Every structure is written in structure tokens, then in C-alpha cells.
Amino acid sequence: MNKQTIAIDNPTVRPDAYGSLAVPIYTNVSFEFDDAARMADAFTGRIKAPDYARVENPTVTNFENRVRQLTGAAHVTAFNSGMSAISNVLFAVAAQGRNIVTSRHLFGNTLSLITVTLRQFGVEARLCDLTDLKAVDEATDDGSCCIYLETVTNPQQEVADLEALSRIALRRNIPLIADSTVIPFIETSLKDLGVDIEVLSSTKYLSGGGTSLGGLVIDYGTFPDINRRIKGDLLFNIGAYMNPYSAYQQTLGLETLDVRYQRQASNALYIAERLRNISTISKVTYIGLKDNPFYDLARRQFGPTSGAMVIIDLESKEACFNFINRLQLVHRATNLFDNRTLAIHPASTIFGNFTTEQLEQMDVRDTTIRLSIGLEDPDDILDDIRQALNESR
Ligand SMILES: *Cc1c(COP(=O)(O)O)cnc(C)c1O
């Protein structure tokens, strides 16, 4: 069956007592048992039945099952934010004395999680250029616990060769963990590219318009201990499981993900191509543009669509602020892949607490604007961008 059909009609959805067609929202905490033996079996994992909502909830399980069917994963666990999905998966693989091989081109909080938070527990960050396979090979050793990357980095839009990295990971018998937030799994299969664990912020595309926070760990089953740790310890001890209302909203988001994504990605390409003809924009970065250095690799890995994040560079930070202040349709807000088009100046906001030197190492420039292209008519978005740049329409 085609993914879009699976997203709508999922055979793993069991009918509820009243035959509700949409997934019911269970907001309760406890689940009652008929007898003590069954209760003991549920609490010790001998049978699969919800007992306490910090670790299992039928609305969330339904959402996880749907994602599992769509991705072909062995296990899916939903968390209450992208960051909690990422931190839990790293807690599951890392330990004192081990190292994480990754790059400086990471979502700001992920970089800080790895270089600050995990460092306090004796985990070393090995930051290298993940597009340089020799450097990755040299950074990896017997102490490495994973190679971690983002499939398309933000705002640099760098794309690493997943199959090549997976061969290095395989040689060391460590998982390749990829954050796929920027290109949704509906269009591509990271499993086929050798990724062992996929993590993503479902706050973005999946939530269906910035409705709720969430994160997913999509586990392809190659390292069974990771799921054991997540489901056996971390869900209990850290308590960051997704809440049922968010699971409900994101289940609805999942059903329309493909149509929304197709439209947002085609809007983004249409707009990126036209922004190149505007003289006050010094650079347009979008992996869907044929002269982008990652165009061929991105197509091979992610198929014909290239996401909805478009990066533009203007003359100066002041020009960026003026542009943002003059926008009338495009919203001044953070988030990616809302239904609306959003603009942000990453260097002063998301990365605002990093030093100038750190920003330079991360390739985050203060001349950069990040646009997340929405579902509006693309010509209306372009008109607003042009007027905010003081260009004639
Ligand atoms: C937003 C984002 C995150 C964090 O997700 P939250 O849901 O905000 O916690 C992680 N990685 C990437 C690439 C993101 O864009």
C-alpha cells in the first residue's frame, strides 16, 4: 500500500467501545485490571497492557503504531518534544568515557546537549566535518557510542552522505543516528540509507501547523538494546512521554502530512528560484536549486522534494532586521513548517547566546534570514518579501 493510504487507513487502529472513527483521546492516568496476576504481568512487561500513563497511553500508542507502519520501523516511541526524543536516545547510547561523533552544524540545543549537558556526565563530543569521510573515520574509535547528524542542517543546509557514514558506523558496530526533522519520512526512507535510529521534532511538519510539541524516536531494530533502555528505563525514570492530546493532534497531522509537505516544498522551490533574481539578496541557499552543492546527493537520498526551509543572505545584520520589521504577511516567529510562512534571524535569536567565535565555527552568519515557507499562495509570499526588501513588485 502507498504511504498516503497507510497514513489515512491504518489497520492497527483497534475500534474503541463506541466505534469512534477518529482516535479517542484517553486523558486518564490509571488503567484497571481484573485480577492481581494480570496486573503483575502488565507491570513487569510480560503482557502488553497500559498500566500508568507516564509510560503508556492508548492514544499515544496508536500514533506510534501509525508511524511504525509508515516507516517500517521495529519500534517507535513518542516524546513530549523533539529535544526529549533526542536526549532520551542519547541517554540510551552514551555512557561515561564514551564519545559521540558529530558536527558543529547542529540544532543549537542539540549541540548544547552534547557539548554541555552530556559532558557533565563524562561523555565526550567529537566535532568534525561529517561531509569529510576521512575526518569522520579518524574521529571514530572503540570509545565511540554513535555517529549523530541532521539529514539537512539548519541554517547551513549541509547534507552528508548517509550510506557512506553508515559503512563507517557498521565497521565500529555503533548506530548511525539521524535527526530527520527537515525532510519528513513520508518522502524518503532513511532505513534504506543505513540509518539505525531516526529522531525528529514532530512539532514541525507532523503537528499540522504548529499545534503541539512532540518528538519521535524511530528505531529500525539494528541495536535492540536501545529500545530496551528507552522502554525499560528511560520512559519510567525521565518521564518525557508524549501527552495524549498532542498525540491526537499529531495523528491528524500525520494524515495530511504528505499533501501539506508536497505543497510547502513546491512553494519553497518556486520562491527560492525567484528570490535569486532579486539583487538585494546576496545568496539563496536551498538544496532544491540545481546549482546547490548538495543538490545531487539530496535528490538521491530524499527524492524529488527538498523541504520548505529557504535561507537568504542580505548585505548586513541591519538589512536583515529592516527586512523582518517590514514584513506584513510573513510572520516574525520561530518554528519550522508551520502552515504559515515564518521568518527569523537565527544569529540573534536561536543562536543568540553563542559567542561570535562559536557562530563562526558553526557557519551561522549575521547576514542570514531563515524562511520557513507555508501553504499560502506563493506569489503572495513573494510579493511580501519583495516589498519588505523595498523592491518593486
Ligand atoms: C526544532 C528542532 C529540534 C527540537 O525540537 P522541539 O520539538 O522544539 O524540542 C530538534 N532538531 C531540529 C532539526 C529542529 O528543527
CA of 5 to the centre of ligand 1 (A): 27
**CATH number for position 271:** 3.90.1150.10
- Domain check: are 108 and 246 in the same one? yes
pLDDT band at 201 (very low <50, low <70, confident <90, very high): very high
Sign of CA dihedral 341, 378, 105, 71: positive
Percent of the chain with pLDDT over 70: 98
Domain boundary among 234, 251, 268: 251
Supply the residue whose CA is at minimum distance from atom 1 of ligand 1. 201
Residues 30 and 152 in one domain: yes
Q: What pTM value is reported for the model?
A: 0.96
Instruction: Give which of 363, 165, 346, 371 is closest to 267, Cα–Cα.
Output: 371
Average pLDDT over residues 82-109: 97
Distance 351 CA to ligand 1 centre (A): 13
Helices (H), the chain: 3-8, 36-43, 58-71, 82-93, 108-112, 133-139, 162-172, 224-229, 235-238, 244-275, 295-302, 317-326, 356-361, 378-388
Q: How far apart are CA 346 and CA 155, in angstroms?
A: 8
Q: Do 235 and 263 belong together in one domain?
A: no
Q: How many domains does the chain have?
A: 2
CA–CA gap between residue 70 and residue 185 (Å, rounded): 8
Quick one: average pLDDT of 252-274?
A: 96
Question: How high is the pLDDT of residue 2?
Answer: 86
Q: Would you place residue 57 in the very low, low, confident or very high pLDDT band (cuts 50, 70, 90)?
A: very high
pLDDT computed for residue 12 by the predictor: 61
Same domain, 77 and 189: yes
Separation of alpha carbons 25 and 57, rounded Å? 9
Averaged over 170-197, what is the pLDDT?
A: 96
Residues 131 and 263 in one domain: no
Residue 50 included in any domain: yes
3-state SS, residue 219: strand
Do both 65 and 188 map to the same domain?
A: yes
Q: Which of 165, 120, 123 is nearest to 140 (CA)?
A: 165
What confidence score (pLDDT) does residue 14 get?
Answer: 67
Judge if 266 and 295 occupy the same domain: yes
Query: 283 and 305 share a domain?
Result: yes
205, 279: one domain: no
Pocket of ligand 1 (CB under 6 A): 81-83, 107, 110, 150, 154, 179, 181, 201, 203-204, 213, 215, 336
Please write the tens of the pLDDT for every residue from 275-310: 999 999 999 999 999 999 999 999 999 999 999 999
- C-alpha of residue 182 to centroid of ligand 1, in Å: 9
Residue 393 binned pLDDT confidence (cut-offs 50, 70, 90) = low
DSSP states of 242-306 as a string?
PPHHHHHHHHHHHHHHHHHHHHHHHHHHHHHHHHTT-TT--EEE-TTSTTSTTHHHHHHHH-S--
Q: How many CB atoms lie within 10 A of CB 380?
A: 12
Mutating to test ligand 1, I would choose from 80, 81, 83, 362 the residue with most ligand atoms within 8 A of its C-beta, which is 83
Residue 26: what pLDDT?
A: 93
8 Å CB contact between 136 and 101: yes
Question: Do both 156 and 82 map to the same domain?
Answer: yes
> What per-residue confidence (pLDDT) applies to 6?
86
Determine contact, residues 212/245, Cβ cutoff 8 Å.
yes
> Which among 224, 251, 278 is the end of a domain?
251
383 in helix, strand or coil?
helix
Best residue among 79, 80, 86, 109 to mutate for probing ligand 1's pocket (most ligand atoms within 8 Å of CB) is 109
Q: What is the mean pLDDT of the chain?
A: 95
Q: Assess whether 278 and 323 both reside in one domain.
A: yes
Report the nearest atom of ligand 1 relative to the CA of 203: 7
The protein residue with its alpha carbon nearest to ligand 1, atom 5, reads: 82
Verify that 139 and 264 share a domain, yes or no.
no
Q: What is the CATH number of the domain that holds 28?
A: 3.40.640.10
Q: Is residue 179 part of a domain?
A: yes
pLDDT exceeds 60 at position 77? yes
Give me the mean pLDDT over the 124-153 stretch: 98
Q: Is the peptide bond before 155 cis (omega within 30 degrees of 0)?
A: yes
The answer to whether residue 93 is domain-embedded is: yes
Q: Per-residue pLDDT tens for 139-181? A: 999 999 999 999 999 999 999 999 999 999 999 999 999 999 9
Domain ranges, residue 210: 3-251
In a domain, 393, yes or no: no
Query: In sequence order, what are the beta bridge partners of 285?
Result: 311
Q: How far is the CA of 216 from the centre of ligand 1 (A)?
A: 11
Of 221, 251, 281, the last residue of a domain is 251
Q: Whose CA is nearest to atom 7 of ligand 1?
A: 82
pLDDT at 11: 59
